[in-house]
Structure 1
Amino acid sequence: VGLSGGERQRVAIGRALLAKPRLLLMDEPLAALDEARKAEILPYIERLRDEAGVPVVYVSHAVAEVARLATTVIVLEAGRVAAAGPAEAILRRSDLVPVHEAEAGALLDMVLAGADPETGLTRLTGTAGQLLVPGLAMRPPGTRLRVRIPARDVLVATERPRGLSARNILSGQVATVTPSGADVAVEIDCNGALVAARVTAAAVRELGLTPGRPVHVIIKSATFDPSGIGTLRPTVEI
């Protein structure tokens, strides 16, 4: 009987674990799989990370995969270490995640609180505030999640907007403003959780976006890809 790409990958991981390794190296393990097979095997890799008790070095160019799985990230450039640190700190930096390859963004630790009866969306709570996202109804309340928000999908307002279709509005204040190519990378501190936004230099001037300025962060519910939201195990390194 033929095996799917995802099944073959699980068999390969199982064979590696039978050798009782002290360290597991996964070099682009999903590169040859289509999106459906990736969605099939990513939860399996999460279980491997959380339950096998084996340190994992996961090598990938796919920022979405790294954001979902990693707790510590090392960025290599021309064979040298360009940066290393917690995933949420490294993946926010637009200088380390080029726009032509992927988009830098925030990683937020959230807890699934339940379904919102008015919208049919799933309600998440965390340090940054509340988020309404689609497609997580099958996960039980109390599940700890890591949610990635690409900087390009974040709008910044100096006044709380009204009459808006976007479901998610977080309050905070500007933490940093850093020129990044033709745009500006802005970090907003939402109760201690940092959200990244990418805006134009003109917007920075017109809105007066300087450190300490109170602002509102606006995120559409449609921004969130359920396949990119992973379970969170903060005490396990990968």
Structure 2
Amino acid sequence: MHASDHELRCDIQQQSPIPIQANFSCKKGELLAVVGPSGGGKTTLLRMIAGLSKPQSGEITCGDQTWFDKQMCLSPQARHIGYMPQHFGLFPHLSALDNVMAGLDHLPKPQRRIKALEWLEKVNLQGFPERLPANLSGGQRQRVALARALAREPNILLLDEPFSAVDRETRERLYIELARLKSQLSIPVVMVTHDINEALLLADRMILISQGKMLQQGKPFDVLSHPHNEAVARQMGLRNIFDGEVIAIEAENNLVRLQFGEHVIVSDSLPQCEIGQTVRWVIPNQGVRFNSITRGRLCRSINKIDVTIESLLTMGETVRVIASMQGVRHHLNTEIPSHLAAKLALRVGLRTTVALKSNQVHLLVDNLTD
């Protein structure tokens, strides 16, 4: 088989009942996360890839096989899909083993059992073949569903909010497991989620979707550090979005200088902008540094900002810090590890200095486009 043989390509449009406009591809061995708010069209898109819903127009292909175009729409069986619905869709009256075997009706009976046991072992469930779903934990049920989806040796694996039905601790373990499994699967994996962190942890590429429209696609970290516009920035959970006035453009150094309150800050992003223009800019959490200054280690690429701590909220291992800046209406929101907050003796009312890394100060200039 050629490398592109299993590539999923999807270019579909529809106006109603739920508007969808999507154009993307997913290679084998790649995990593509489709991220967006509830009701944004993510599950509809997944169902269209699976063949459970039919788009109004466009085409979907996998390798050299056409799954959907204006002439035809293959059934889910003909597409040979591995599909894991949000609440796993297991048969309650069948044991774990029988649930996995239920997906293998294309094999002769004796082979089904061998194959199902093999897959239960691959998802670390070798000890529980006879248990009913009701006697399995959420994480174990999820693994049975995954084994069932994969035992069919599908052309593609589709996961609908795969971690929403399990608690946080289980989720962390399952992330590690899915990452390990993914490296062994040579098929495209498409995962729908509303959780940006899940995409950052697991996905090779992501699509941000809102009201059925694709806002941006790319590597999760690239989308996080270079959002196209404010809608993307907000959907990525970025809270530090500010106005600044362009006061200098140094094209040769690829720098823009902004007046920001009483400070001048430098950005390494150089979009089309003019001196005197007010622009929106954004910085992700990892671009805001508390400790680099106290240690006196300031490199050229750092903007110093004087701040006053307005509130501190400890959330387990991290502290959420809200700080005000001179001459700026909006607050700076950031999270730092609890041990660092203790070491810096942060307290409400403290005046201190933070550093904003210039390569993370990203100007949002295409806010005018829709």
TM bucket, shorter chain:
0.5 to 0.7
- The 1:27–1:137 alpha-carbon spacing in structure 2 relative to 1, beyond 3 Å, is closer
Question: What secondary structure is seen at the aligned counterpart in 1 of 2:331?
Answer: strand
Displacement of 1:123 in angstroms is 0.4
What letter is aligned with 2:259? T
What letter is aligned with 2:261? T
Question: What secondary structure is seen at the aligned counterpart in 2 of 1:30?
Answer: strand
Residues in 2 aligned to 1:64 and 1:28: alpha-carbon distance in whole angstroms? 21
Displacement of 1:186 in angstroms is 0.7
- The 1:179–1:63 alpha-carbon spacing in structure 2 relative to 1, beyond 3 Å, is farther
Q: Are 1:170 and 2:332 counterparts?
A: no
2:214 to 21, 30, 37: 30
Residues in 2 aligned to 1:180 and 1:128: alpha-carbon distance in whole angstroms? 31
Displacement of 1:190 in angstroms is 0.9
**Counterpart in 1 of 2:346?**
209
What letter is aligned with 1:176? S
Residues in 2 aligned to 1:121 and 1:104: alpha-carbon distance in whole angstroms? 22
Displacement of 1:218 in angstroms is 0.7
Residues in 2 aligned to 1:197 and 1:141: alpha-carbon distance in whole angstroms? 29
Displacement of 1:145 in angstroms is 1.1
Displacement of 1:104 in angstroms is 3.9
Displacement of 1:212 in angstroms is 1.0
Contact 1:149 1:224 in 2 (8 A): yes
**Counterpart in 2 of 1:154?**
288
**Which consecutive residues of structure 2, in runs of 5 or more, have no partner in the other structure?**
1-9, 16-39, 41-209, 219-223
What letter is aligned with 2:243? D
Q: CA RMSD in A?
A: 4.1
What letter is aligned with 2:255? L
Residues in 1 aligned to 2:333 and 2:322: alpha-carbon distance in whole angstroms? 5
Q: Are 1:230 and 2:368 counterparts?
A: no
Further displaced range: 210-219 or 172-181:
172-181
Residues in 2 aligned to 1:232 and 1:190: alpha-carbon distance in whole angstroms? 25
Contact 1:124 1:131 in 2 (8 A): yes
Residues in 1 aligned to 2:361 and 2:225: alpha-carbon distance in whole angstroms? 15
Deviations 1:109-156 (A, max 9, x none): 111112248954110112262221123263111221111111232111
Residues in 2 aligned to 1:116 and 1:162: alpha-carbon distance in whole angstroms? 25
Residues in 2 aligned to 1:200 and 1:110: alpha-carbon distance in whole angstroms? 29
Question: What secondary structure is seen at the aligned counterpart in 1 of 2:341?
Answer: helix
Deviations 1:12-37 (A, max 9, x none): 9xxxxxxxxxxxx9714225x645xx
- The 1:115–1:195 alpha-carbon spacing in structure 2 relative to 1, beyond 3 Å, is same
Asked which structure has the greater CA Rg, the reply is 2
Of structures 1 and 2, the one scoring higher in RCO (CA 8 A, sep 6+) is 1
Q: Are 1:127 and 2:261 counterparts?
A: yes
Using structure 1 for the length normalisation, give the TM-score: 0.53
**Which consecutive residues of structure 1, in runs of 5 or more, have no partner in the other structure?**
13-24, 36-61, 71-86, 92-96
**Counterpart in 2 of 1:188?**
323
Contact 1:67 1:148 in 2 (8 A): no
Residues in 2 aligned to 1:109 and 1:65: alpha-carbon distance in whole angstroms? 16
Displacement of 1:63 in angstroms is 11
Bigger share in strand: 1
What letter is aligned with 2:336? V
What letter is aligned with 2:311? T
1:115 to 243, 249, 256: 249
**Counterpart in 2 of 1:44?**
none
